[in-house]
Structure formats: C-alpha cells, structure tokens
C-alpha cells in the first residue's frame, strides 16, 4: 500500500507541475498579446476627407523618439480637442467624434497611439509612456498660431480616455477633459478583458497575466490607475460617461471615478448604454452634453 501511495503521490505531483507550467506559459502568452499588438494592429480605413473635413496628415515625434501618425482638423473657433482612441483601435475610430466637434467649430487632433495603427513603437504600457504621445500632440497644438492656448480640451474613449486622464493630471495645458468609458484600475480591466477578450476565467489568469505584462512593459498597475490620479485634474473640469451595459468596464466605474475627482465634475450615466456607445446610441444628447461641456469651459476663456 505504501508503494502505491508513493506512486499516486508522484503522479499527482507531476500533474500539478505540468498544470502549473501550462498555466504560467499560457498566462505569459496572453500577457505578451496584451502588450505587443504586433501584426494584429488595426489601421484607419477612412480619413477626415471622407467626412467632408479639411485636414492635415502629420507626423509627431515623442520625447522618447516614437513617431506618431496623426490628423489635424484646423480649428474655426480657436479651440481644439485631442480625440484619442482606445486599445487595439486607431485614429479612424475618432472620426465620428471629430465630425461632430468640427461642426461646432472645434479643431481636432487624432493620433494613432504608439504601437497602434500607423504609429511607431511596439509596446503598450497602458498610459505610462502613452502620456508622451499626448505631450507631443500638445506641443504641436501650442505651436499653431490659430489655436488659443487656453482652449485645448481632451476627449478619449476607453483606454484613450485613461491615457488622456493621466495626461490631464500631468499637463495643465489640457483645460477640459471628457472620458468616455474609462476604467478605474488596470486590475479590473485585465480581469474583465481576460474574460471578454481571451475567454478565460479571471482567476487565476488575470493576476498572472498582469504580473507578466507589468514585468515585460516595465510599469506598475498602481502608477497608471486612473482612480489614483483623477483628482489631480481639478480645478480643471471633468465630464465622465458611463454605460450600465458596458461589458469591459464595471458599471459603477463612473461613479467611483466621480467620487475621487475634484470639482468641477459631472457624470453622464445611462443604464442601457454599452462600451463607448453614447455617440452612436444618443447622438443628440451626446451633442448636448459634450459640446455643451466644451463650449462652457473652453469658449468662455
């Protein structure tokens, strides 16, 4: 009996070791997918011209030498909005937003984030280095004589909303911030993304994937947690958009971010709206909320 017990124990130990190796290898593979878009990049299939907009096709260079593909739609009212797309998307995703903004006289800067679209870079750091992309955009806008330096706003969707939130906390040149479906912490986003994108259970995969991603990309989830930084935007205004049917961000995220933000701040919550669906599903209200917000805080200067 002792002999069989030892054999069974050895078999169980081997199974556990093989299982652990499989889990670690799979988690590492998923982490590399999260931080290296590689050949899976999406690229814009339309340009502002397809929306009847005059624009300039420009290339920006960040402080760390990454070249960014960007479009600039000139301003008609002196104010301009940096419109930033989400994770594994591209600047083309912001064309509907740009069209609405341009209809109201706003200039728009749309950039492919580093490691996205036609921009350089290979590594996604979930805001840590992406704020340098925003800095390059700000430097370009501040060099334009037609732009009022007190009239620069930011509008981001999903990860783009997070990047712009971190940038607004760091760069006072951003005078008004709109975040459409941002997450509050990378831990939550990885947990939901693992389930929705990779089809894996949050545990044990999410913490392992996050560990490997942090190690590879050289960042800490705490450092890029929007909920820890949003208060630094005040006294500049914040408008948050949160849908109750968001499958990538917990539905209470907007309220939690709002509680941490300083004044002035607003939350637009709609129970029936999904992730980044406000403009498509409620275009008239979107115009009322978002354009009204920018008009109030950028046009009064």
- The answer to whether 213 touches 187, Cβ cutoff 8 Å, is no
Domain extent listing, the chain: 1-35+202-218, 48-185+221-298
pLDDT value at residue 84? 99
CA–CA dist 245, 196 (Å, integer): 13
Query: Tokens at residue 253, please?
Result: 């995220």
Q: Is the dihedral of CA 31, 39, 276, 168 positive or negative?
A: positive
The tens place of each residue's pLDDT in the chain, 301 residues long, gives 566 666 666 666 666 666 566 667 777 787 788 888 877 789 999 999 999 999 999 999 999 999 999 999 999 999 999 999 999 999 999 999 999 999 999 999 999 999 999 999 999 999 999 999 999 999 999 999 999 999 999 999 999 999 999 999 999 999 999 999 999 998 888 888 777 766 778 778 888 888 888 888 888 888 899 999 999 999 999 999 999 999 999 999 999 999 999 999 999 999 999 999 999 999 999 999 999 999 999 986 5
The tokens for 264 are: 């002035």
**Tokens, residue 29:** 């593979």
Q: How far is CA 20 from CA 191, 200, 212, 215, in A?
A: 20, 16, 15, 19
pTM, to two decimals? 0.91
Cβ neighbours of residue 210 under 8 Å, at least 6 residues apart?
31, 186, 187, 190, 221
Cα 238 from Cα 253, distance rounded (Å): 14
What sign does the dihedral 7-10-14-16 (CA atoms) show? Answer: positive
Architecture of the domain made up of 48-185+221-298: 3-Layer(aba) Sandwich (3.40)
Closest CA to 178 of 103, 126, 106: 106
**DSSP type of residue 287:** I
Nearest to 253 by CA among 162, 161, 183: 183
Cβ atoms of 97 and 82 within 8 Å: the answer is no
């Amino acid at each position: 009996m002792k002999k069989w017990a030892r054999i069974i124990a050895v078999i169980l130990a081997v199974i556990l070791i093989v299982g652990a190796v499989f889990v670690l290898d799979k988690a590492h593979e998923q982490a590399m997918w999260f931080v290296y878009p590689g050949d899976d990049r999406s690229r814009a299939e339309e340009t502002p011209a397809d929306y009847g907009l005059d624009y300039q096709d420009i290339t920006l260079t960040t402080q760390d030498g990454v070249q960014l593909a960007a479009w600039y739609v000139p301003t008609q009212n002196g104010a301009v909005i940096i419109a930033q797309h989400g994770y594994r998307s591209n600047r083309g995703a912001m064309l509907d937003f740009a069209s609405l903004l341009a209809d109201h006289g706003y200039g728009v800067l749309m950039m492919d984030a580093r490691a996205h679209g036609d921009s350089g870079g290979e590594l996604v750091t979930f805001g840590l280095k992406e704020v340098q992309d925003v800095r390059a955009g700000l430097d370009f806008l501040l060099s334009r004589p037609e732009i009022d330096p007190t009239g620069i706003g930011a509008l981001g969707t999903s990860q783009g909303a997070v990047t712009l939130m971190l940038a607004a906390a760091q760069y006072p040149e951003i005078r008004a911030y709109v975040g459409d479906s941002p997450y509050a912490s990378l831990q939550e986003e990885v947990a939901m993304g693992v389930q929705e994108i990779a089809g894996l259970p949050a545990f044990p995969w999410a913490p392992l994937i996050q560990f490997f991603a942090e190690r590879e990309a050289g960042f800490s989830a705490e450092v890029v947690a929007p909920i820890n930084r949003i208060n630094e935007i005040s006294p500049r205004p914040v408008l948050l958009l949160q849908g109750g049917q968001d499958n990538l961000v917990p539905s209470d995220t907007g309220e939690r971010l709002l509680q941490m933000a300083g004044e002035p701040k607003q939350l637009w919550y709609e129970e029936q709206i999904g992730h980044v669906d406000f403009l498509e599903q409620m275009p008239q209200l979107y115009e009322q909320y978002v354009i009204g917000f920018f008009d109030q805080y950028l046009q009064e200067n």
